[in-house]
Structure 1
Amino acid sequence: MVTTRAAVLRDRSGDFRIEEISVADELRPDEVRVRIVASGLCHTDLLVRDQVLPPALPAVLGHEGSGIVEAVGVAVATCAPGDRVVLAPLSCGRCRNCQSAHPMHCVYWGPLNLRGRRSDGSTVYRGADGEELNGHFFGQSSFSGQVVVPQRSVVKVRDDLDLTLAGPLGCGLQAGAGAVLNVLAPRPGASIAVFGAGAVGLAGIMAARIAGCDPVYAVDLHPGRLDLALELGATHVVDAAEDDIAGQLVRATGGGVDFALDAVGLPQTARSAVDALTMAGAAAIAGSAGSGKDVSLGLTQLMGRSVHGVLEGDTVPALFIPQLMDLHAAGRFPFEKLVRTYDFDDIAAAVKDSESGETVKPILLH
């Protein structure tokens, strides 16, 4: 066993506690042990904290990890000790969706990433007294200083990419950018509205600029985030506190936007994204406020329009994350503007700033 520090969540809606835990050091053939350098804090971590989503507690969460490979199993061929990596959600590699280049829509995505265990029900994470801890969250649990992950979750990164910033490429950033570039695939000059200017939405706005969209509308409640959206590629901003957002967009565009991205995942934002569409328009619902949320859509409003539910940008992480790295190196995907770093011990401050909207993407430095 390897001893390390981790943020352990033990109580529903409770605080993350920094504890010493043990991580199994005996690797299965397809597993990789990674020393975590940094990990993004995502809204999904907080949904688990409040037990809106699994796994059950106690658990080690975190799913936007970056780090250094320390050891590999005998069957691992995609990385080696010393490699700099970003960790991405897990997929089975065998189902029809994985085999058709849609691993983020893996048929087994839920149990693989949210169960808190390996597929056989085991866990490599244990508390100081030997108790089993749920982990393997999104294939990783990067709120631990050491993690054991399947090689399918490991993506090598450029040598010139700052590892302290890179972790969110594995979740929030690929989720927003992929929803625009891979799913909506707008043509140059197409109009788009992005609901929510958090990490997913702002990644979508940067992607819309890359795709040549014009106009690009950003909708959010926070003035600071709307200012950032303008800096990152939005041409217009809309205060989400105003009435009839969809109607405003329809009137401003003379009939509705060609594309819409809901990066919030609430019933009202999903409905607004669809209502704002022009005929033949398409909406991507990429945010999630948890299970048990329903949205009502008018059947006539769907005529000639399409709605896509999108998980993690429907990407192939091993291909798409390097593309985002290249765009970042070229100055076209400046995600560092979303980031604020925190010492790992200051996770409570990172949570507070994330929930208040003060920080778009907190990153914990191990």
Structure 2
Amino acid sequence: MKIKAAVVRKPGAPFRIEEVEIAKPKETEVLVRMIACGVCHTDAVARDQEMPVPLPAVLGHEGSGIVEEVGSRVRDIKPGDHVVLTVYSCGRCEACMTGHPSQCEWAFPTSFLGAYEDGTKRLSKDGVELSTFFAQASFATYAIADERNAIKIDKDVDLSLMGPLGCGIQTGAGTVMNKLKPEPGSAVVVFGCGAVGLSAIMAAKIMGADPIIGVDAVDSRLELAKELGAHIVFNGKKEKDLVTSIQEVTGGGADCSLDTTGVETLVNQALFCLKPLGTCAIVASSGDREFKIPLQNAIMGVGKTLMGVVEGDAIPKLFIPKLVKLYKQGAFPLDKLVQFYDFEEINQAFEDSKSGKTIKPILRF
């Protein structure tokens, strides 16, 4: 079947919308007519080859759409279902079987090496195969995903809003709710108030954290952080001694912190602003950068924990419907983060995301 897809052919090159061919879904797969797809920093990392996905490729990994066809062994999804596409997991490895599918041994290869678990691809043009992304490649009018990374959601919500639940929003909210797990009254600091950080702030509010502190260099984002649940905000560029300021307002240090930036200075601030035995989670895709962290003073000598978290350590089939329920209840207003773009405006959406003009761009097909 012929579809339209945004293709990247050279490192850092603009996306070009082309007519390509999509194969039929295999036994455990579903064909999804895409309604929308979020734009995520990880897509830019792949486009620019900081994460060397084989080119040419069709990126996109925060898709939402309607199932049109299912493979012969698909049991839980049927045509007409509304789905959010997320990271693939095999269901068989130790990480999957212990409730950590984000650490599946197949999550990295199917996300970044351009093919599905069986080593094959589903997209081509003029006989030349195109790499896929996150086992979905959802910058396209149609996508193929496995039953395991197509998450069925309620039909009474705006499907075009839901795609970012598959990655960025799941990452921020899940890191707070599944890993940091602040107790009511705990002090939480979020470094970076983009889509991931603001999702973390909304989750911290749901968990009863107090105070919730947002840190960013853009005042408009800090204002939105306050609207979504932050009690205190700091502009990191304007604050003379951010760590001391956080320690003062928390009475000695925060219980936990979350860094969405992957910037060495901010990671160190996220560690030093904690009280002894505090926990810092890093969720940024930072490639192979090397950080200098004073181990004795920042971690070991004060019993602190520094951990990486992927996809909020969530079980998507459970967590994404939970976030949809919270959205319907008004407790998780993710619609305040987004701005919609036509598919043909994909390059503008990436520019607006990079400049900070738009927190979470969503492409509509």
The partner residue of 1:58 within 53, 56, 59 is 56
The one-letter amino acid of 2:21's match is S
Q: TM-score, normalised by structure 2?
A: 0.97
Mapped pair 1:287 → 2:278: no
Question: 2:110: which partner in 1?
Answer: 112
Q: Distance in 1 between matches of 2:230 and 2:289?
A: 32
Match of residue 260 from structure 1: 257
**1:234 aligns to what?**
230
Q: Give the match for residue 81 of structure 1.
A: 79
Describe the SS at the equivalent of 1:209.
helix
Residue equivalent to 1:270: 267
**Partner residue in 1 for 2:324:** 325
AA in 1 matched with 2:270:
A
- Given that 1:3 and 1:23 are in contact with CA atoms closer than 8 Å, whether structure 2 keeps it comes out as yes
Task: Classify 1:179/1:295 alpha carbon distance in 2 versus 1 (closer, same or farther; 3 Å).
Answer: farther
Residue 344 of structure 1: aligned partner:
343
TM-score by length of 1: 0.97
Aligned pairs, number: 362
**Secondary structure of 2:110's aligned partner:** helix
Once the two structures are TM-superposed, the CA of residue 245 in structure 1 deviates from its matched residue by 2.0
1:14 maps to a residue whose letter is: A
Q: Distance in 2 between matches of 1:24 and 1:244?
A: 56
Could you tell me which residue of structure 2 aligns to residue 221 of structure 1? Answer: 217
- Give the letter for the 2:359 counterpart: V
Instruction: Give CA-to-partner distance per residue, 1:154-209, whole Å, 9 cap, x none.
Output: 10111111011110000000100000010000000000100000110000000000
> Which residue number corresponds to residue 30 of structure 2?
32
- 1:311 equivalent to 2:333? Answer no
Shift in CA distance, 280/50, structure 1 to aligned 2, threshold 3 Å: same
Q: What do residues 258-287 of structure 1 show as CA deviations (whole Å, max 9, x unaligned)?
A: 110111122222221111110121111111
The question of whether the paired residues in 1 share the 8 Å contact of 2:37 and 2:139 is answered with yes
Structure 2 spans left out of the alignment, 5+ residues: none
Amino acid of the residue matched to residue 204 of structure 2? A
Which aligned runs of 4 or more in structure 1 are off by greater than 6 angstroms?
A: none
Verify the 8 A CA contact 1:41 1:361 in the aligned structure 2.
yes
- Partner Cα separation in structure 2 for residue 297 and residue 20 of structure 1: 52
Distance 1:107 1:256 in 2: 37
SS in 2 for 1:272: helix
> CA 1:243–1:49 in 2, change beyond 3 Å: closer, same or farther?
farther
SS for the counterpart of 2:199 is helix
> Which amino acid is 2:172 matched to?
G
* Whole-angstrom distance in 1 between the partners of 2:289 and 2:261: 15
Q: How far 1:24 moved relative to its partner?
A: 0.4
SS of the aligned residue for 1:116 comes to coil
CA contact (8 A) 1:39 1:62 kept: yes
- Please say if residues 266 and 288 of structure 1, whose CA atoms lie closer than 8 Å, have aligned partners that are also in contact: no
Match of 1:90 in 2: 88
Matched ranges for 1:89-168 at <5 A: 89-127=87-125, 129-135=126-132, 137-168=133-164
Distance 1:36 1:297 in 2: 47
Q: Which residue of 1 aligns with 2:360?
A: 361
Q: What letter corresponds to residue 319 of structure 2 in structure 1?
A: F
* 3-state secondary structure, aligned to 1:319: helix
Q: Contact conserved, 1:268 with 1:295, CA < 8 A, in 2?
A: no
Q: What is the Cα deviation at residue 295 of structure 1?
A: 4.1
* 1:180 aligned to which of 176, 179, 201: 176
